[in-house]
């Protein structure tokens, strides 16, 4: 069995007696291992050939549950995967020690396989210390992201370089619905265009309209003073996927932003915050944080639980999510198509959005396909927009779309949603399953199955095949 060796943080060269397959973890003075869970880790490391492992921790009596490995989360919270238990052979081959302050970033840069065990492995009497701004900035240079880290309290945020000016095509499907602003009706897409501010030559705006458009699309283009081109969908019922795909095909720029017409934006700065992540070739898609008009959260990344794509933190004050890392950029299984940016080439490579999902699941389906074939999906809270959700349609999932979703993906195991979170299972408030709630004291602990960033399904093609597109 793989052995787990505990060493001091300032430990020198590894003891030659430690086998290459064994794990080595560096702990500060006063930190201890949970011996029972250390045994679970040794067993898991026998079964899964990961280069490194991390687990949940306890600090001052408070348990800190963690998501699966997230290279993006490390940029905002470099201690998110500390302490790390690393294979001795991996450390030796790279000349590193288990106490190296930049160890998490070295693992990212080496494309190492890092697994998470959802149990408390180590107990600490004070907050962890990890990489700081110098290590983050060095890592950003290494992966080609033109930004610098700026500390905000205990977190870090990325500030783009002064000359960072990505060219982006913004695709806006719209039906010309109205929205109430200070008691007065406004056409939502016009309000969106106004909120984007002054024209910018690097931003291409494309509106996609269909039979249901309420008004004159040509007048919309005229009103936008050349900032916006209008595409017309083929006749037929509204299909979000078809509308976006038309915009993707027409896009002139390498980056494409899907943007709902019921969004209000604080200028164009959010576009740079999203585009910055796509400088990292391992990131395939990035989404924004969306707030309801009352300032509470509508979208902060998605989770999948019991096959249902759900929004965590719905109705929360954004500040309240910080204890769960909801205030920093991080890996998630999917982001909403209400504000999603990706490379045009990647979108074309996976066939764009599936027109078999005309209203629901199209964004989650896209993100899962991008994750499996291109790269990671992240959410960036520094890009925060206002969302007047579902102005143009009733928020509902059709039976046909649900059957197609289950047939295509089954029950996906979401590694970024901790199995220890409490799921109330209220069919009338299903979104509560996504919240990071503490379970009742008498709730049995979930199984400690190892989690990596590789998506898997417990059930595949669990229902009869849906009708063809």
Predicted local confidence at residue 445, as pLDDT: 72
Residues of the chain with pLDDT > 90, as a percent, come to 71
Q: Which of these, 210, 213, 211, lies nearest to 176 by C-alpha position?
A: 213
* Cα 283 from Cα 277, distance rounded (Å): 7
* Residue-wise burial string across 82-107, b where 16 or more C-beta atoms lie within 10 A, e elsewhere: bbbbbbbebbbeeebbbbbbbbbbbb
Predicted local confidence at residue 112, as pLDDT: 97
Mean pLDDT throughout 230-251? 93
Q: Under a CB-based contact definition with an 8 Å cutoff, are residues 350 and 369 in contact? A: yes
User: At residue 227, does pLDDT exceed 60?
Assistant: yes
Predicted local confidence at residue 468, as pLDDT: 53
- If you average pLDDT over every residue of the chain, what do you get? 91
Q: What is the pLDDT of residues 101-110, one digit of tens each?
A: 999 999 999 9
More confident residue, 218 or 341: 341
User: At residue 67, does pLDDT exceed 60?
Assistant: yes
User: At residue 438, does pLDDT exceed 90?
Assistant: no
Q: Which residues contact 223 (CB under 8 A, 6 or more apart)?
A: 190, 193
| Least trusted range by pLDDT, from 45-49, 220-224, 229-233, 265-269 | 220-224
User: At residue 197, does pLDDT exceed 90?
Assistant: no
Q: What is the pLDDT of residues 82-91, one digit of tens each?
A: 999 999 999 9
Residue that has been written with the tokens 């046909």 in this structure: 400
**What length is written for the chain?**
469
Q: Which of these, 168, 76, 185, 56, lies nearest to 122 by C-alpha position?
A: 56
Q: What is the pLDDT of residues 326-344, one digit of tens each?
A: 999 999 999 999 999 999 9
Residue that has been written with the tokens 């890009």 in this structure: 383
* Cα 342 from Cα 258, distance rounded (Å): 9
Mean pLDDT throughout 392-399? 66
| Least trusted range by pLDDT, from 248-257, 321-330, 433-442 | 433-442
* Residue-wise burial string across 297-329, b where 16 or more C-beta atoms lie within 10 A, e elsewhere: bbbbbbbbbebebbbbbbebebeebeebbbbbb
- Look up residue 141 and give its two tokens: 């240079």
DSSP 296: -
Q: Which of these, 253, 255, 271, lies nearest to 263 by C-alpha position?
A: 271
Q: Under a CB-based contact definition with an 8 Å cutoff, are residues 84 and 49 in contact? A: no
User: At residue 219, does pLDDT exceed 90?
Assistant: no
DSSP 373: H
Mean pLDDT throughout 406-430? 87
Q: What is the pLDDT of residues 126-168, one digit of tens each?
A: 999 889 999 999 999 999 999 999 999 889 999 999 999 999 9
Predicted local confidence at residue 439, as pLDDT: 83
Predicted local confidence at residue 162, as pLDDT: 95
Neighbour-count burial of 387, counting CB atoms closer than 10 A to its CB (0-12 exposed, 13-18 middle, 19+ buried): buried
Q: Which of these, 79, 67, 75, 74, lies nearest to 115 by C-alpha position?
A: 67
Mean pLDDT throughout 407-428? 88
- Look up residue 199 and give its two tokens: 């024209």
* Cα 290 from Cα 266, distance rounded (Å): 12
Handedness of CA 98, 104, 110, 111 (dihedral sign): positive
**Torsions phi, psi for 192 (to 5 deg):** -60, -50
Predicted local confidence at residue 392, as pLDDT: 46
Mean pLDDT throughout 285-301? 96
Domains and CATH numbers, the chain: 4-124+133-152 (3.90.550.10), 168-413 (3.90.550.10)
The H-or-E segment that residue 286 falls in is strand 283-291
Predicted local confidence at residue 465, as pLDDT: 56
Query: Cα 306 to chain center, whole Å?
Result: 19
Q: What is the pLDDT of residues 3-61, one digit of tens each?
A: 999 999 887 789 999 999 999 999 998 899 999 999 999 999 999 999 999 999 999 88
Predicted local confidence at residue 422, as pLDDT: 85
Residue that has been written with the tokens 């910080």 in this structure: 322
């Amino acid at each position: 069995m793989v052995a787990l060796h505990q060493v001091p943080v300032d430990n020198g060269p590894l003891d030659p007696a430690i086998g290459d397959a064994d794990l080595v973890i560096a702990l500060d003075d006063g930190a201890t291992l949970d011996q029972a869970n250390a045994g679970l880790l040794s067993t898991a490391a026998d079964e899964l050939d990961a280069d490194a492992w991390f687990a949940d921790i306890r600090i001052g009596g408070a348990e800190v549950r963690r998501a699966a490995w997230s290279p993006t989360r490390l940029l905002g919270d470099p201690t998110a995967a500390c302490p790390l238990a690393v294979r001795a052979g991996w450390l030796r081959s790279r000349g590193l020690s288990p106490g190296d302050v930049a160890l998490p970033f070295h693992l990212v840069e080496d494309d190492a396989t890092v697994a998470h065990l959802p149990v408390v492995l180590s107990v600490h009497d004070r907050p962890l210390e990890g990489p700081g701004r110098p290590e983050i900035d060095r890592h950003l240079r290494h992966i080609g992201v033109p930004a610098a880290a700026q500390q905000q309290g205990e977190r870090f945020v990325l500030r783009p370089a002064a000359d960072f000016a990505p060219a982006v095509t913004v695709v806006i499907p719209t039906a010309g619905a109205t929205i109430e602003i200070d008691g007065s009706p406004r056409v939502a897409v016009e309000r969106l265009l106004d909120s984007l501010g002054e024209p910018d030559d690097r931003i291409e705006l494309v509106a996609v309209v269909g039979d249901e458009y309420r008004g004159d699309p040509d007048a919309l283009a005229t009103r936008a003073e050349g900032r916006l081109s209008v595409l017309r969908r083929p006749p037929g019922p509204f299909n979000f996927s078809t509308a976006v795909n038309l915009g993707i095909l027409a896009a002139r720029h390498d980056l494409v932003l899907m943007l709902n017409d019921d969004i209000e934006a604080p200028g164009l700065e959010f576009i740079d915050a999203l585009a910055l992540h796509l400088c990292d070739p391992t990131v395939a898609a990035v989404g924004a944080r969306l707030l309801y008009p009352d300032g509470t959260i509508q979208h902060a990344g998605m989770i999948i639980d019991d096959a249902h794509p759900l929004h965590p933190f719905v109705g929360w004050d954004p500040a309240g999510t910080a204890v769960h890392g909801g205030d920093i950029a991080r890996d998630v299984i999917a982001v909403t198509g209400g504000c999603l940016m990706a490379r045009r080439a990647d979108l074309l490579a996976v066939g764009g959005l599936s027109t078999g999902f005309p209203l629901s699941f199209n964004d989650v389906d896209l993100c899962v396909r991008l994750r499996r074939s291109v790269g990671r999906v992240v959410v960036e809270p520094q890009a925060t927009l206002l969302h007047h959700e579902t102005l143009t349609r009733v928020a509902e999932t059709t039976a046909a779309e649900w059957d197609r979703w289950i047939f295509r993906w089954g029950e996906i195991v979401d590694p970024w949603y901790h199995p220890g979170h409490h799921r109330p299972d209220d069919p009338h408030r299903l979104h509560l399953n996504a919240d990071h709630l503490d379970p009742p004291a008498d709730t049995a602990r979930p199984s400690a199955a190892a989690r990596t960033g590789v998506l898997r399904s417990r059930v595949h093609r669990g229902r009869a095949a849906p009708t063809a597109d």
